[in-house]
Amino acid sequence: MQNRSFLGSIPPVTLNLIIVNFIVWLAALTLPKIAGINLNYWLGLHYFAADDFNVVQLITYMFLHDTSGIEHIFFNMFSVFMFGRTLEAVWGGKRFLFYYITTGMGAALVQEAAWYFELRSAISETVALYGWEQTPQLLNNFITVGASGAAFGILLAFGMLFPNAPLFIIFIPIPIKAKYFVIFYGLLELFFGDSGSMSSVAHFAHLGGMLFGFFLIRYWKKKGIGGGGFYY
């Protein structure tokens, strides 16, 4: 029996998503220093009324991460590695990639909606003070990056497909069933988003990834597609 390498044991779409994300992170880290190009600014998700918003940012933002440290990309890609492998094995590469991109874009749309409700009063005041012409430039300051929406979508999918799978969480001495962990995490993100706690984190985008993932999986189940991998 032939032994596979560690990388060879990771399904191709999962592996390539992780590789691409780290390559883009390294590019975003080095390009400002060597070429003066800020990838996170130009390809990160802007508010739709901002001057520098572009529709392609709905996709490109999910391949970018905070370059001030490695924690952001590490934990996102760790989630993709831990749970994405299983989903790709169940669904196949094409369906898993479609799910990943869909939940990431869904997270972006929910973040845009959250910005709309969060900023509408401030935008009205800014327009009253400076006029509309300067407002889109000021809105360029609102940018989000990261694969967290897709990562939360992956976590949600794992919890729906394998609700009773035990998860071992650091600092918690007993295993937690996946379905309870997903519910707890979702409620925690809702609390943080509604309360404004940890405001530098796009909590509603995380919930958006879970929301779009939930409806997509329910749709696949209704249509009888998805490789029969539904165990909830």
The most confident of the ranges 1-15, 22-36, 131-145 is 22-36
Is 231 part of a structural domain of the chain?
A: no
Provide the token pair at 82.
């831990």
- For residue 69, what are the CA distances in angstroms to 26, 46, 133, 180? 11, 21, 35, 30
How is residue 140 annotated by DSSP? G
Is 111 part of a structural domain of the chain?
A: yes
Is 1 part of a structural domain of the chain?
A: no
Specify the pLDDT at position 16: 97
Specify the pLDDT at position 168: 79
CATH number reported for the structural domain that contains residue 28 in this entry: 1.20.1540.10
Domain containing residue 214: 7-223
Is 85 part of a structural domain of the chain?
A: yes
pLDDT tens track for 116-170: 998 888 888 877 777 777 777 888 999 999 999 999 999 999 999 999 988 877 6
Q: State pTM to two decimals.
A: 0.88
Which whole number is the average pLDDT over 40-67? Answer: 96
Cα radius of gyration (the chain): 19
Residue 104 has pLDDT above 90, yes or no: yes
Is 228 part of a structural domain of the chain?
A: no
Specify the pLDDT at position 213: 96
Query: In terms of pLDDT, which residue wins out, 131 or 189?
Result: 131
Q: Which residues contact 22 (CB under 8 A, 6 or more apart)?
A: 73, 77
Provide the token pair at 87.
């989903």
pLDDT tens track for 208-224: 999 999 999 999 998 88
The total domain count for the chain is 1
CA 44/CA 60 separation, integer angstroms:
7
pLDDT band per the 50, 70, 90 thresholds, residue 33: very high
